[in-house]
């Protein structure tokens, strides 16, 4: 606590707090920090546990600017001490939130922020409130016996992916900073009995709110309608002001908006080939943001059954192709929870109907945008896209490279053009000899149909290329690239983390100054390497 006292005596950092969450919602009356069941409370006040030697690894200038902080803030000792868990600034009222959730389809009861501590809500220059949260800052009452810490490898992945997703245009929480703690943390990476000490780290992440489906589920499961109503009222007042809270159907309106945001979020994931890995109900944001970057993964070779999570390796519940369905399943669980506040739950069917009505057209339009095509007859468009997905499955195809290269595809007529098109797309295949003779006619036919459609639409080639390159990134945070950065950082070299941050901060540009390796296919050595293909929930 001496470190806190020293920090409080120094000048405050340039931010203003307005902690509506702790001001308006019921607090846990008990302040002791030990694992326990927390009832009738939205949060528990808790202080970060100081670490040995907080040292900045990397900071996001963009995320800082969103908070009104200058780039120089990353050089300030008080800032590093604060985001490293060793200082609490004036105005901060740290807490961990209470929530529950379904994990892999089964109700898990109370979960809560087991290793996350929110420092407060900063008032940004545009008057938006943004929560500042430390992940890996020590035990909380929700830690369930764990240490509340995070390791460097998972923290690098979360920091980089948060910022990568933001710049890809995917709704997400952001990452402000990544700090080494100077402490070692014991982890069993693959739960195989081979635990080892690893360097600890803390990510400071930001979001308008970290409210999640499980926030509402926990109170409904306990039949605590009073607390649930308070949390819902707070949510509508501050995060969905467009909804008239006095309207008879306010709850249905709200959940329908959550359904729309969730549908668009999943469409974005599918667009860039991102697989969350752990789509439990406690990992879906009520605001439609990507939260809780654990064992996520980016598809290299297109595989609808791809999941990066070793825990899910058998059932593949959260595989790429299943993410849309999981969005609906989780919304159904949220709607069931809110039904506790309704006399007649029948109108809640509108929530799932809204999700379906939003996702289908949005997904189809997204795919047409990636292909650079205008909307045609819906069933024909869907069939054309389904045929492409079948070709992807038959020939291991790097979807990022395929779509990016499609903007430059030769669309001329003639057999010579057919051969050129096959040669162009083959650069996105992982097998050198692909497509196999079995698939060559199918690929040639689809590409010819695609070229004919582009010609028939008579789009301006330059505008079409710019539009396609605006939705098809050249750079994504490939799993093996992140692992290379982790390996170097664990040896004390943070340069690759910084370089990747720069690259993923401009994913749609060609970046001629960047080595081609950062936009190339995954190398064969990374196909089955730990951290490059499958990861666990261990952090």
Show the 3-state SS of 203-215: EEEEECCCCEHHH
Segments of the chain scoring below 70 in pLDDT: 1-12, 432-435, 437-438, 537-539
How many C-beta atoms lie closer than 10 Å to residue 432's C-beta? 6
* φ/ψ bin of 60: left (φ > 0), alpha (ψ from -120 to 50), beta (otherwise): beta
Rounded to the nearest 10°, the torsion over CA 452, 454, 460, 461 is: -90
Measure the CA–CA gap between 384 and 471, rounded to whole angstroms.
19
For residue 4, the model assigns a pLDDT of 43
Measure the CA–CA gap between 409 and 118, rounded to whole angstroms.
49
Q: Is 252 helix (H, G, I), strand (E, B) or coil?
A: helix
Q: List Cβ neighbours of 356 (8 Å cut-off, separation of 6 or more).
A: 328
Active site residues: 282
For residue 8, the model assigns a pLDDT of 38
For residue 414, the model assigns a pLDDT of 85
Q: Which of 2, 118, 8 is nearest to 50 (CA)?
A: 2
For residue 5, the model assigns a pLDDT of 42
Q: List Cβ neighbours of 127 (8 Å cut-off, separation of 6 or more).
A: none
For residue 165, the model assigns a pLDDT of 98
Measure the CA–CA gap between 58 and 523, rounded to whole angstroms.
27
For residue 434, the model assigns a pLDDT of 62
- What's the token pair of residue 57? 């690894």
For residue 538, the model assigns a pLDDT of 55
Measure the CA–CA gap between 124 and 17, rounded to whole angstroms.
9
Q: Determine the straight-line distance between the first and last CA of the chain, rounded to whole angstroms.
A: 26
CB 16 within 8 A of CB 132: no
Measure the CA–CA gap between 341 and 345, rounded to whole angstroms.
9
For residue 261, the model assigns a pLDDT of 98
Measure the CA–CA gap between 49 and 46, rounded to whole angstroms.
9
Alpha-carbon distances of 43 from 27, 141, 327, 364, 454, rounded to whole Å? 5, 10, 26, 41, 55
- What's the token pair of residue 475? 């750079």
For residue 535, the model assigns a pLDDT of 79
Q: How many residues does the chain have?
A: 539
For residue 10, the model assigns a pLDDT of 46
This prediction's pTM: 0.95
- What's the token pair of residue 284? 């879906």
Q: List Cβ neighbours of 174 (8 Å cut-off, separation of 6 or more).
A: 60, 62, 63, 66, 162, 163, 166, 205, 206, 207
118: which strand partners?
A: 95, 133
Measure the CA–CA gap between 279 and 273, rounded to whole angstroms.
15
Measure the CA–CA gap between 99 and 164, rounded to whole angstroms.
27
Q: List Cβ neighbours of 283 (8 Å cut-off, separation of 6 or more).
A: 101, 212, 276, 291, 292, 294
């Amino acid at each position: 606590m001496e470190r806190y006292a020293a920090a409080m005596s120094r000048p405050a950092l340039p931010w203003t707090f307005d902690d509506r969450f702790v001001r308006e919602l019921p607090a846990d009356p008990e302040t002791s920090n030990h694992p326990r069941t927390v009832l009738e409370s939205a949060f528990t006040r808790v202080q970060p546990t100081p670490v040995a030697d907080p040292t900045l690894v990397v900071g996001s200038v963009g995320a800082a600017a969103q908070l009104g902080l200058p780039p120089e803030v990353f050089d300030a000792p008080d800032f590093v001490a604060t985001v490293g868990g060793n200082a609490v600034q004036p105005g901060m009222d740290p807490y961990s939130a209470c929530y529950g959730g379904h994990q892999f389809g089964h109700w898990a009861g109370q979960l809560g922020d087991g290793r996350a501590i929110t420092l407060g809500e900063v008032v940004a220059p545009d008057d938006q409130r943004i929560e500042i949260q430390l992940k890996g800052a020590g035990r909380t009452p929700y830690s369930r016996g764990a240490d509340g810490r995070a390791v460097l490898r998972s923290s690098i992945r979360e920091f980089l992916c948060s910022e990568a997703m933001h710049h890809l245009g995917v709704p997400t929480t952001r990452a402000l900073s990544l700090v080494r703690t100077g402490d070692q943390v014991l982890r069993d990476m693959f739960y195989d009995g081979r635990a080892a000490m690893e360097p600890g780290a803390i990510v400071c992440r930001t979001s308008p709110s970290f409210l999640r489906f499980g926030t509402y589920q926990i109170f409904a499961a306990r039949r605590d309608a009073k607390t649930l109503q308070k949390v819902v009222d707070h949510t509508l007042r501050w995060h969905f002001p467009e909804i008239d809270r006095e309207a008879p159907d306010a709850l249905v309106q709200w959940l329908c908006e959550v359904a729309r945001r969730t549908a668009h979020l999943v469409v974005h994931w599918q667009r860039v080939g991102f697989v969350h890995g752990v789509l439990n109900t406690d990992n879906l944001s009520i605001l439609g943001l990507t939260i809780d970057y654990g064992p996520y993964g980016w598809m290299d070779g297109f595989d609808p059954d791809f999941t990066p999570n070793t825990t899910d390796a058998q059932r593949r519940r959260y595989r790429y192709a299943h993410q849309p369905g999981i969005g609906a399943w989780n919304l159904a669980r949220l709607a069931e929870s809110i039904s506790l506040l309704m006399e007649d739950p029948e109108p809640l069917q509108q929530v799932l109907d809204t999700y379906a009505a939003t996702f289908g057209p949005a997904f189809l339009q997204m795919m047409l945008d990636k292909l650079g095509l205008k909307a045609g007859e819906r069933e024909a468009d869907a069939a054309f896209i389904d045929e492409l997905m079948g070709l992807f499955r038959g020939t291991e195809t790097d979807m990022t490279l395929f779509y990016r290269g499609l903007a430059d595809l030769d669309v001329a007529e003639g057999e010579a053009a057919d051969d050129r098109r096959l040669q162009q797309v083959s650069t996105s295949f992982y097998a050198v000899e692909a497509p196999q003779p079995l698939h060559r006619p199918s690929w040639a036919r689809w590409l010819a149909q695609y070229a004919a459609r582009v010609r028939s639409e008579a789009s301006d080639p330059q505008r079409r290329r710019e539009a396609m390159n605006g939705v098809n990134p050249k750079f994504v945070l490939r799993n093996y690239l992140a692992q290379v950065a982790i390996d170097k950082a664990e040896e004390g070299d943070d340069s690759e983390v910084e370089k990747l941050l720069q690259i993923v901060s401009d994913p749609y540009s060609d970046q001629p100054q960047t080595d081609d390796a950062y936009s190339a296919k995954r190398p064969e050595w990374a196909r089955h390497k730990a951290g490059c293909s499958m990861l666990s929930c261990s952090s």
